[in-house]
Structure 1
């Protein structure tokens, strides 16, 4: 596991989404839900972890409506205000994790498609993916499903990184050989798990971006 690629064998590139293609602010939804629920941010984070809301939603154990209902229930305060949160209010707060998409990263992926098979592998939720695609359309860019040969979302395959099973699923489904495949992710545990399967795993760390790591291929 290092920051260099074996260009001689490289045929496939798998991208993470958050903080690899699109910058994210993981604390933003917690801040917004704290304001909505009249709770402290620390209280919201504790409740979130206690109920494993993210894990259930991002592995497809609960759907969009169940997620929203769960959020309303667990963040209910003494005034009962959360009962009145519309779906759109919850979705908007949830989507504040997603920041502006750097178009130059999208353009680089389009260039790479000319010589490599490119894929997306993300721990994510349906609400986020719909919002990202809306953002892309507004930028006159292709949706994720069009940009990549195939997309693999945790909530659809019901597996999450860094589980080795999710990487093996991608390799099997796309017909990829690990040694011919690069994987770029911002999470060290995700990178380590991929590297242990023989994938060329690249840990994307600021201030570098995928433009730096993929500059010379």
Structure 2
């Protein structure tokens, strides 16, 4: 896996979203659904994994309504609401994965768009993307779709990292050459898959951020 960029050939940069641009807490939604349902966190986590709700949702196999329905069915709520949790309750708990967005990272990405073709590639869901864009608007910032030349969401292309096919799709769709393209992600498996295709893959891990990795480009 690459640790530095070959800036002489660099023309394109692909960013992951979670823990690269916006910090996330992967454990928060399960913790919050468990509290809402008055169930042990381990039990909710096991149900989540057993039924692969996230995988189905983030590859577009189920839509928002079906996702919420699955949550209601799997995590049987112990309250008096006849139809279980309201949509807003589920969405709010699901969005607790998203932490405060560091504006300096966003500004750096915007600067890079003046020199490079810049893209977003994220394993994500529609509820999360709507929330991120709402946060951006509240910060008087452009939406993700306005910042990047093109965004590639797993639920829209119906593929997920680290499948090689999703990287090949982005390269082909955007007309990119792998060796001229950098990809920044926090997940080692995603980085390994991208590097296997000849992409300049940078593993973003604390305490370093994209501000450190991209300071000289």
| Distance of 1:78 and 1:144 partners within structure 2 | 37
TM-score by length of 1: 0.98
Task: Provide Cα deviations, 1:95-148, integer angstroms capped at 9, x if missing partner.
Answer: 000001000011101111111000000000000000000000001111000000
| Distance of 2:11 and 2:191 partners within structure 1 | 18
Q: Please name the residue that 1:66 is paired with.
A: 66
Q: Does 1:198 align with 2:162?
A: no
Q: Please name the residue that 2:8 is paired with.
A: 8
Q: Specify every segment of 5 or more residues in structure 2 that has no aligned partner in the other structure, as ranges.
A: none
Kept in 2: contact 1:178–1:198 (CA 8 A): yes
Give the 3-state SS of the residue equivalent to 2:141 in structure 1: coil
Q: Please name the residue that 1:208 is paired with.
A: 208
Kept in 1: contact 2:77–2:85 (CA 8 A): no
Q: Please name the residue that 2:31 is paired with.
A: 31
**Alpha carbon RMSD of aligned pairs, Å?**
1.1
Kept in 2: contact 1:75–1:82 (CA 8 A): no
Give 1:133-212 correspondences, 5 Å limit.
133-212=133-212
Q: Please name the residue that 2:120 is paired with.
A: 120
Give 1:69-84 correspondences, 5 Å limit.
69-77=69-77, 83-84=83-84
| Distance of 2:162 and 2:88 partners within structure 1 | 31
Alignment: residue pair count: 217
Kept in 1: contact 2:25–2:97 (CA 8 A): yes
Q: Specify every segment of 5 or more residues in structure 1 that has no aligned partner in the other structure, as ranges.
A: none
| Distance of 1:212 and 1:42 partners within structure 2 | 36
Larger mean Cα displacement after TM superposition, 169-178 or 34-43: 34-43
